[in-house]
Structure 1
Amino acid sequence: MTISLTKKLIGATVAAGVIVALAGCGSAPAPASSTNAKPADANFKPCLVSDSGGFNDKSFNESAKIGMDKAGTALGVKPIEVESKSDNDYKSNIDTLVTGGCTLIIGVGFKLDAAIADAAIANPKLHFGIIDSMADPKNTGKPASTNIKPILFDTAQAAYLGGYAAAAWSAQAGGNKVGTFGGLQIPPVTIFMDGFVDGVKKYDEDKGAKVESFGWDAATQKGSFTGAFAANDTAKQTAQGILDQGVDVILPVGGPIYLSASAALKDGGKKTVMMGVDSDLAVADPSVADQILVSIMKRIDSAVYDTVTSTAKGSFDPTPYVGTLENKGVGLSSFHAFESKLPKGLTDELTALQDKIIKGDIKVVSPSSPK
């Protein structure tokens, strides 16, 4: 089954299910073509700065880079892309892009919030974008400057479907336990965890089941975190702590920490499966494809592409973009190799749930959802 389209970008095809492609800010971005569409401003120079996870995280940084590269190809311009090695690099990297003549600078991730806000205020004639943030470090309820476009995703909606699927898988396996853990306890991470555990609860309600969730309590907003996005011993130990509960499905939320979860799975004898976030992880990293039940995606690539190409045409719009199930900015990937092993009727149930969320019959809420 496919609730959202990722393979189209990679060049593969989805065999069955509901195909979903990001609709950008209400309409789907035009695909890149071999014919260059020159920017309205001959000096247009799009630029991208990663967070400390780097562009090879198989997650949100890499997805943003894919979107930027695709836009550059379509426009016939060469983007400047700077990778941050640590949190201390954000300000200096953005300053370098400003002095380097960039006219649109997009920061990848919540951790660049303050640096993007400061740069936008200091450079009102330039355009900025920020992924997973309002660029509102003072919590005023709006971006720090009118030259910033927030690129946000109501990922709780897709994670709700993921949690339901995880619960169904665990019930079929007989363990009736699932779990999740995160990198940093920040809104772009906890929004996945909120939706996930609520989706598990929905399955229990619908089926009269008793699938338990470990690693996150949505009511208290407390759970298991590694303290960073690095794949290291701490992340592996955190994953192992969840696996020790006897879970059938584990959801690591935080870029490269999925590698630590994968390593912990390989060390154990139990046939636990993993879920991906942001990108279709089974496609982005084939080395873990046999462990990935499904991925909870947000189409950062298409949102970046749309923002860059629109700005290049002289149509910069600071209105926040919010990806939802309705505009196809978030969704589930294909179940890939697990498609034929799913509980009978699950794909139809997920489609029905998605429709109810879109219609407003089911309200998926998280303290971290975009306002």
Structure 2
Amino acid sequence: MTISLTKKLIGATVAAGVIVALAGCGTAPAPASSGAAKPADSNFKPCLVSDSGGFNDKSFNESAKNGMDKAGKTLGVKPLEVESKSDNDYKSNIDALIAGKCTLIIGVGFKLDAAIAAAAIANPKLNFGIIDSIADPDGDGKPDAPNIKPILFDTAQAAYLGGYAAAAWSAQAGGNKVGTFGGMQIPPVTIFMDGFVDGVKKYDEDKGGKVTSVGWDKDSQKGLFTGAFQANDVAKQTANSVLGQGVDVIFPVGGPIYLSASAAVKDSGKKTVMLGVDSDLAVADPSVADQILVSVMKRIDDAVNTTVTEAAKGTFDPTPYVGTLANNGVGLSPFHSFDSKLPKGLKDELTALQSKIVKGDIKVASPSSPK
């Protein structure tokens, strides 16, 4: 069940013929068995706490919830899922889950880093997980407690493919320009943007093209950000600043800010298309399906599902989980309604690029890639 907390606990594919994408270092997440399986420990209680974006963000929070719900259904348990309304809620939400006898608590997102680390240190007999972070507030390069499982994704690899596809689309459209902007300037956001601009450059190298990208400079690590993950006037104005530069494709990286980009595109009257992030956005939010060329996905749902089911069996493993193209942790969604409109041969080129990345023939690197 999904609940909100204040000071008290109130309640408790593959791209069609194209690319695969999904999950982790070590053992890749596998879909849980369809049959109900009771957890080994009858006291097992998995719990999830969102960041301030909430569970209806059509992005990473919602994907994590889907994974938790799936695991709960398979295991025959009712997870506690708490929604943070602001950044100030993280500590109190986690404290309430601990008081509620949760045995596994997963925090969704980089912004819960310090709160998860502090809780894990104070509660060494409980298991914790955190998405898009290693829970390392002290900066020594490793989790601050041995009972934390980092759930990470090298999304630069998938965004590289997305950038290549965006460049191909723009070249076909004739504008030869694509753009991106982000929510907060944090590693889980900039890693998408790094891969994206490098994918555009790869297209130009392979095709002798002249497609340029705006909104992010990988070398200087500077670009356009809204400062938050809310769909609001600031996000729309930021999207307009990218659209005003004549882009054929826009890549909003930051959960709900895609809604602001969508509105800005519609208001502009232009034929600019968007790239989605985290989930298959054309499926997650059908209202924007006709604007989504493709989505750069990270399978948070599978990672959470696997983490929960392993913990239920008593085999919780704090080894960092890193989703890559090689283990299907990240990748591209189907192109859906745009499939028949793609430049000839693009999907084969993307398949070949993915193969080269997996084999190591192409190195996709970002300062924000999991180490």
Fold match by TM threshold 0.5: yes
SS in 1 for 2:340: helix
Which position in structure 2 is the counterpart of 1:320?
A: 320
Q: Distance in 2 between matches of 1:18 and 1:181?
A: 24
Which position in structure 2 is the counterpart of 1:201?
A: 201
Which position in structure 2 is the counterpart of 1:188?
A: 188
Q: Distance in 2 between matches of 1:305 and 1:113?
A: 20
SS in 2 for 1:283: helix
> Deviation of residue 31 (structure 1)?
2.7
Q: Does 1:363 align with 2:357?
A: no
Which position in structure 2 is the counterpart of 1:47?
A: 47
Amino acid of the structure 1 residue aligned with 2:211: V
> Deviation of residue 192 (structure 1)?
0.1
Is the 8 Å Cα contact of residues 51 and 112 (structure 1) preserved in structure 2? yes
Q: Distance in 1 between matches of 2:210 and 2:78?
A: 53
SS in 2 for 1:263: helix
Which position in structure 2 is the counterpart of 1:167?
A: 167
SS in 1 for 2:296: strand
Q: Distance in 2 between matches of 1:21 and 1:185?
A: 24
> Deviation of residue 25 (structure 1)?
4.0
1:86-144 Cα distance to aligned partner (Å, 9 max, x none) = 00000000000001000000000000000000000000000000000000011111100
Is the 8 Å Cα contact of residues 121 and 145 (structure 2) preserved in structure 1? yes
Which position in structure 2 is the counterpart of 1:67?
A: 67
SS in 1 for 2:310: helix
The alpha-carbon distance between structure 1 residues 265 and 181, as it changes in their structure 2 partners (threshold 3 A), is same
Q: Does 1:239 align with 2:239?
A: yes
Is the 8 Å Cα contact of residues 32 and 309 (structure 2) preserved in structure 1? no
Gaps of 5+ in 2: 1-12
Q: Distance in 2 between matches of 1:149 and 1:187?
A: 18
Q: Distance in 2 between matches of 1:265 and 1:301?
A: 29
1:242-262 Cα distance to aligned partner (Å, 9 max, x none) = 000000000000000000000
The alpha-carbon distance between structure 1 residues 147 and 40, as it changes in their structure 2 partners (threshold 3 A), is same
1:265-308 Cα distance to aligned partner (Å, 9 max, x none) = 11012100001000000000000000000000000000000000
Give me the CA root mean square deviation. 1.2
The alpha-carbon distance between structure 1 residues 24 and 310, as it changes in their structure 2 partners (threshold 3 A), is farther
Gaps of 5+ in 1: 7-13
Amino acid of the structure 2 residue aligned with 1:205: E
Is the 8 Å Cα contact of residues 108 and 130 (structure 2) preserved in structure 1? yes
> Deviation of residue 30 (structure 1)?
3.6
Q: Distance in 1 between matches of 2:17 and 2:149?
A: 35
TM-score normalized by the length of structure 2:
0.95
> Deviation of residue 36 (structure 1)?
1.8
SS in 2 for 1:229: coil
Which position in structure 1 is the counterpart of 2:6?
A: none
What is the percentage of aligned positions where both structures have the same residue? 79
Q: Does 1:29 align with 2:40?
A: no
Q: Distance in 1 between matches of 2:69 and 2:25?
A: 17
Is the 8 Å Cα contact of residues 24 and 302 (structure 1) preserved in structure 2? no
| Structure having greater relative contact order (Cα 8 Å, sep ≥ 6) | 2
> Deviation of residue 38 (structure 1)?
1.1
Which position in structure 2 is the counterpart of 1:11?
A: none
Alignment of 1:80-229 (within 5 A): 80-229=80-229
Q: Distance in 1 between matches of 2:243 and 2:108?
A: 30
Amino acid of the structure 2 residue aligned with 1:237: Q
SS in 2 for 1:369: coil
Is the 8 Å Cα contact of residues 39 and 75 (structure 2) preserved in structure 1? yes
Count of aligned residue pairs for this structure pair: 359
SS in 2 for 1:318: coil
Q: Distance in 2 between matches of 1:360 and 1:340?
A: 31
Which position in structure 2 is the counterpart of 1:301?
A: 301
> Deviation of residue 29 (structure 1)?
1.8
Q: Distance in 1 between matches of 2:97 and 2:21?
A: 34
> Deviation of residue 16 (structure 1)?
3.6
1:39-69 Cα distance to aligned partner (Å, 9 max, x none) = 1111000000000000000000000000000
1:172-227 Cα distance to aligned partner (Å, 9 max, x none) = 00000000000000000000000000000000111111101000000000000000
Q: Distance in 2 between matches of 1:222 and 1:119?
A: 33
